[in-house]
């Protein structure tokens, strides 16, 4: 029996305000032009992005369904109902690739349960791009999301991740809310061992891109201010 279910296409977007065509392949642009229904985190920014990358597309004809931290689990089935009925819809994050450190993963899981095809398109992932450029172990690495907010718990988490890095010979990757970047940097330099290699990657793919890997003892002597820029933190201790 032929599968009458539709498809959800995971559509990447730029990581900054640079020209989308600098970081997105033509396939992404063509796909956006073909679709008239999207799952997005923010309708306003999604409209702006689509208008920028597909200027001739009729934005008023597009249906937008919101998926963010306020979306209830019970609403997820409603978001993909068109795909259940056989339609192809798109899913976009606010930045980068959907499904990685964002709510899109929940939609993918539900789609698999319902027999709906998920098609991921190629685009910029800050996590993978940072790993690529870090010079740290790319054979074994782990993305740990956000560290605990509590100072004592976060310090313990940093030390635990450092021990894991040693025992598994594994690069540890994590992110932070941008306004806490500088505080986290202070805690990393005061908690990690002097010879642990730390990479900071911020504003990836933009004109202000910064990627640097040094041992903690050098970071302590060359303090930087990340302020509120999006950043990825990676470390590895042998």
The CATH number linked to 161 is 3.30.950.10
Structural domain includes residue 1: no
The span from the CA of 179 to the CA of 141, in Å, is: 26
Can you state the angle between helices 181-191 and 151-168, rounded to 10 degrees?
60
DSSP 73: G
The span from the CA of 137 to the CA of 38, in Å, is: 37
The span from the CA of 74 to the CA of 78, in Å, is: 8
Instruction: Answer with the one of 120, 139, 159 that is the final residue of a domain.
Output: 120
Q: What is the CATH number of the domain that holds 31?
A: 3.40.1010.10
Q: Are residues 171 and 83 in the same domain?
A: no
Q: Are residues 87 and 61 in the same domain?
A: yes
pLDDT at residue 1, as a whole number: 44
Sorted by sequence, the CB contacts under 8 Å of residue 73 that are 6+ apart come out as 106
pTM for this model (two decimals): 0.90
Q: Are residues 188 and 230 in the same domain?
A: yes
pLDDT at residue 188, as a whole number: 96
Q: Are residues 91 and 156 in the same domain?
A: no
For residues 236 and 197, is the Cβ–Cβ distance under 8 A?
Answer: yes
Residue among 42, 40, 35 at smallest CA distance from 7 = 35
Structural domain includes residue 53: yes
pLDDT at residue 62, as a whole number: 96
Instruction: Answer with the one of 69, 85, 120 that is the final residue of a domain.
Output: 120
The span from the CA of 227 to the CA of 216, in Å, is: 19
Q: Are residues 138 and 170 in the same domain?
A: yes
pLDDT at residue 70, as a whole number: 73
Domain membership of residue 27 as a residue range: 7-120
Structural domain includes residue 40: yes
Along the 238 residues of the chain, how does pLDDT read in single tens digits? 455 789 999 999 999 888 888 899 999 999 999 999 999 999 999 999 999 999 999 999 999 999 887 777 668 889 999 999 999 999 999 889 999 888 889 999 999 999 999 999 999 999 999 999 999 999 999 999 999 999 999 999 999 999 999 999 999 999 999 999 999 999 999 999 999 999 999 999 999 999 999 999 999 998 888 888 999 999 999 8
Q: Are residues 59 and 98 in the same domain?
A: yes
Q: Are residues 105 and 191 in the same domain?
A: no
- Can you read off the two tokens belonging to residue 161? 């991740």
Q: Are residues 31 and 116 in the same domain?
A: yes
Structural domain includes residue 2: no
Instruction: Answer with the one of 120, 145, 165 that is the final residue of a domain.
Output: 120
């Amino acid at each position: 029996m032929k599968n009458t279910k539709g498809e959800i296409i995971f559509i990447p977007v730029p990581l900054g305000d640079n020209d989308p065509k600098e970081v997105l392949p033509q396939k992404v642009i063509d796909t956006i032009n073909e679709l008239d229904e999207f799952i997005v985190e923010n309708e306003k920014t999604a409209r702006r992005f689509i208008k920028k990358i597909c200027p001739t597309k009729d934005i008023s004809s597009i249906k937008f369904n919101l998926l963010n931290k306020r979306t209830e689990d019970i609403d997820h089935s409603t978001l993909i109902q068109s795909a259940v009925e056989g339609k192809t819809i798109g899913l976009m994050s606010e930045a980068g690739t959907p499904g990685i450190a964002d709510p899109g993963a929940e939609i993918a899981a539900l789609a698999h349960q319902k027999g709906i095809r998920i098609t991921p398109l190629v685009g910029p992932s800050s996590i993978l791009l940072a790993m690529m450029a870090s010079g740290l172990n790319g054979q074994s690495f782990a993305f740990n999301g956000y560290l605990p907010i509590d100072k004592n718990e976060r310090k313990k988490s940093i030390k635990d991740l450092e021990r894991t890095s040693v025992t598994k010979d594994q690069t540890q990757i994590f992110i932070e809310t941008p306004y806490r970047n500088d505080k986290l940097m202070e805690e990393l330099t005061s908690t990690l061992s002097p010879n642990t290699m730390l990479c900071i990657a911020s504003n990836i793919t933009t004109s202000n891109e910064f990627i640097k890997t040094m041992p903690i003892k050098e970071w302590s002597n060359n303090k930087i201010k990340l302020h509120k820029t999006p950043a990825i933190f990676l470390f590895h201790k042998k």
